[in-house]
Structure 1
Amino acid sequence: MSEKVLYFKSWLASKYINLLGDNSYDFKSILIIKMDEIGDLVTALPVFYNLYQLYPDAKQTLVCKSFNTIFFKHLDYIDCVNDFKEVTENDYDLIIDLRGTVETLHYALAKKPKLRLDRGSVRLKNKFSGGQKNEIDTNIEVIQPLLREHVIWSNKIVTGNDEHQKVADYLQEEGIRKYVILHLGARDEARRWPIDRYAEIITHINKTYSLSCLLVGGPDDKMLNDTCLALVKSKLNLNVVGEFNLLEYAALCEKAALFIGNESGPLHIAAAQNTPTIALFGPGVKDVFYPKNDTSIIHHYFLARKHKEQTVANSTIFSIKVSEVMESVGKVLKE
């Protein structure tokens, strides 16, 4: 089933369920469905924070991918489930479908909660009234019927003493005080800025600001980082793949002078922690996944036609020049 058809069916399901719905009800059990990637989950965090503010006594159950569970370590009002089948026998007062499937749609119709809110309805409405919005705005709009005067827009990840201590110990051991984080990877190669250009940026940061560069990412990025650092003479820099889990990485971002990277999960985590970011985009839709903090600089070029269908052969990410990224680095680090 295509995404557009699923959105339409989701809209119909919510209309049917909510005929007798009551958004003033004091919900005690809330099911949120967000079977998505890291960056998508991070942009949805305001939903959980607002729900807690509205219904502090309610238990939130989140169905998410296993690697995203860690983001809720310090939020004791949320239970994470990684297999939707674990909740199918349960009843919930409120269901919020932020990224579901046909299965989750049928579940809602069978259980008929007191209210169902869904991303599909919002995306369908926005398609006919101005286009797709920034992901944080879209997620907030899903729960708009519940919101009151004070809305929490921040999607800052909650980190704890353990994460900050791990980062502090690592930095002390390596003799690093001030640093820049870079993420070179992306699942889609059309979203990857060339590593030789990143090497030029790292060399510039080393020489001009005497700062270390920490190259982050998942296991698939380790070789990519090593290849890049082999092009850099300075030994100030480190490939830190494998050193930190996602929550520790969020704590690492909080202390960073700057983040530079492609559109990816690490970018969204850095932006959530209010780290100054220089974001490099290729095929992405304008505005939708842009960081929303006040200290972000976006580099993004567009094709006149079929922009979203870019491949490595014609990706606009290759239009981003080293000189313009260096200029952005200067604006953030204040030469």
Structure 2
Amino acid sequence: MERFTGVKKILVIKLRHIGDVLLTVPAIRALRDGLPGARISALVNSGTEEMLTGNPLLEEVFCFDRRIKESGSASRRIIGEIGFVRGLRQRNFDMTVDLTGGDRPALLGFLSGARYRLGYDPAGSGFAGKKRLYTHLAPRPQGRTHTVIRDCGIGAAFGIPPIDLTVDIFTSAQDEAAIDGLLKAAGIDATTKFVHVHPASRWLFKTWTIAGMASVLDGLQANGLRVVLTTGPSDAERKITISITEAMKTPPVDLSGRVSLKGLAALSRRAALFFGVDSAPMHIAAATGAPVVAVFGPSGAFDWGPWDNRQASVWINDREPDVNTPYPLKGGIQRFGRNTVIQKSWDCVPCGKDGCNGSKKSRCLDEITPEEVLKLLLENVSLPLPQDKM
């Protein structure tokens, strides 16, 4: 193990999206286990902090306000950046761990004044001299690697491997009570078997067809399951959900715009199943232990497939040494524990693009049929529920 002496305060930097931030939890836990005397803080983008607030692994979660980058004149942006860096330095971190990989986190880690600055080798990406901002560079993962494993790789390269790969999210009594109130008002109690459906993503090229989604949700309700819909705050997502409910023959419970990020966790925890697309709510649901069925298009299940906490320790011990993901195939139906991804087995999948030819529409999603999706959902909902194994 690399000798990191005198490390009392660690800053983990993850300036990405909501799901990315949630999946850092095993890497943070590895740092806590490997450097047990240190206090750990996390720096994340504003709007993503709920993924880590309340987590006992962390002393503090603080935010980079993305409005600084959009604050008008260059002078105002510079003043905002200087103020942020000043606050960072005042925290006196001994170590930074950059789980983001971009230019800004590299600079912030350097400007923090931390003695140890860990990250992945930029390998030619970013600005000239970027690697000099770090004191310890881990080799970049080779081949298909799940995001959870990739985030743990920096610490592992220096003798701080993950021991517990659980991705967890913490809710308050108020979060739980708010969801109970919404469900009660909709006529759903503890005996009601329901499916939590989050049908859209902020990235529309990841969203399945309206007709397909409506058909599947009608099919679920025809089989005695209630459907509870949620959506993100964007107008585009809300319009998709409205179109789905209008196309359905049986009305769902529509909680669009009424559930917070923490509330999504509380809701999924009560559900028999979560159904959706590659999105932050999918990762949140998986973290609660709800079985997940997700429709994937151009994005890779190998790095973004739903994580199964119960199966993770078994998989990590049983895998082949060069396998870094529980979703090793390019496409098709893949399972990890009680989670299932359905995706086309086409040569072009996953392409990682924003739709076919930049159209924001993904043919690999459009051609997945309602029949195959409904069959998978009904198979998965018959599995033991999370509370049955607790």
Could you state the TM-score of these two structures normalised by the residue count of structure 1?
A: 0.83
Q: 1:222 to 1:308 in 2, by over 3 A?
A: closer
Deviations 1:235-276 (CA, angstroms, capped at 9, x unpaired): 3x1221222211121111111111111111111111111111
Q: Provide the residue aligned with 2:340 in structure 1.
A: 297
Shift of 1:75: 2.8
Aligned in 2, Cα 1:137/1:163: closer, same or farther, shift over 3 Å?
same
User: Which stretch shifts more, 262-271 or 85-94?
Assistant: 85-94
| Paired amino acid for 1:113 | A
Paired-residue identity, %: 21
Other-structure match for 1:243? 258
1:39-72 Cα deviation digits (max 9, x unpaired): 1111112122333344454332221112122233
| Structural mapping, 1:110-121, within 5 Å | 113-120=114-121
**Aligned mates of 1:217, 1:111 — CA distance in 2:** 37
Partner of 1:147: 160
**Secondary structure at 2:294's aligned position in 1?**
strand
Partner of 2:282: 267
What letter corresponds to residue 159 of structure 1 in structure 2? T
CA-CA distance at 1:94 after TM superposition: 1.3
Structure 1 residue identity aligned to 2:253: L
1:216 matches 2:230:
yes
State the AA in 1 paired with 2:343: H
Q: What is the aligned partner in structure 2 of residue 78 from structure 1?
A: 59
**Helix, strand or coil for the counterpart of 1:308?**
coil
1:104 aligns to 2:120 (yes or no):
no
Separation in structure 1 between the aligned mates of residue 204 and residue 274 of structure 2, nearest angstrom:
20
Residues of 1 paired with 2:138 and 2:116: CA distance?
18
Aligned residue for 2:42, secondary structure, equals strand
Partner of 1:285: 300
Whole-angstrom distance in 2 between the partners of 1:72 and 1:305: 35
SS at match of 1:250: helix
Alignment partners' CA distance in 2, 1:123 and 1:189: 34
Q: Please point out which of 56, 60, 63 is paired with 2:40.
A: 60
Which residue identity does 1:78 align to in structure 2?
Answer: E
Residue aligning to 1:330: 378
Deviation at 1:319, TM superposition (A): 2.5
Name the Cα RMSD after superposition.
2.5
Could you tell me which residue of structure 2 aligns to residue 92 of structure 1?
93
- SS of the residue aligned with 1:67? coil
Shift of 1:106: 3.5
Contact 1:226/1:239 (8 A) holds in 2: no
Higher relative contact order (CA 8 A, sep 6+): 1
Cα distance between partner residues in 1 of 2:169 and 2:159: 23
Match of 1:200 in 2: 215
Which residue of 1 is the match for residue 185 of structure 2?
Answer: 173
Structure 2 segments unaligned to the other structure (5+ residues): 65-83, 123-136, 309-336, 384-390
Question: How far off is 1:80 after superposition?
Answer: 2.0
Paired residues of 1:156 and 1:274 also in contact (CA < 8 A): no
Once the two structures are TM-superposed, the CA of residue 81 in structure 1 deviates from its matched residue by: 2.1
Map of 2:241 onto structure 1: 225
CA distance in 1, matches of 2:2, 2:115: 6
Secondary structure of the structure 2 residue equivalent to 1:259: strand
Counterpart secondary structure, 1:301:
coil
- Native 8 Å contact 1:96 1:116 kept in 2: yes
- Counterpart of 1:27 in structure 2 is 7
1:23 to partner: Cα distance: 3.7
CA contact (8 A) 1:186 1:264 kept: yes
AA of the residue aligned to 1:201:
V
Tell whether the 8 Å contact from 2:202 to 2:232 is kept in structure 1 after alignment.
no
CA drift of 1:22 comes to: 4.6
Partners in 2 of 1:123 and 1:231 — Cα distance?
Answer: 50
Closer/same/farther in 2, CA of residues 102 and 243 from structure 1, 3 Å limit: same
1:94-139 CA-partner distances (Å, limit 9, x unpaired) = 110011543432344456634322245688532xx3x130001111
Gapped runs of 5+ residues in structure 1?
Answer: 1-20
Q: Following the alignment from structure 1 to structure 2, what is the Cα–Cα distance between the partners of residues 333 and 110?
A: 50
Q: Do the aligned partners of residues 111 and 168 (structure 1) sit closer, same or farther apart at CA in structure 2, a change above 3 Å counting? A: closer
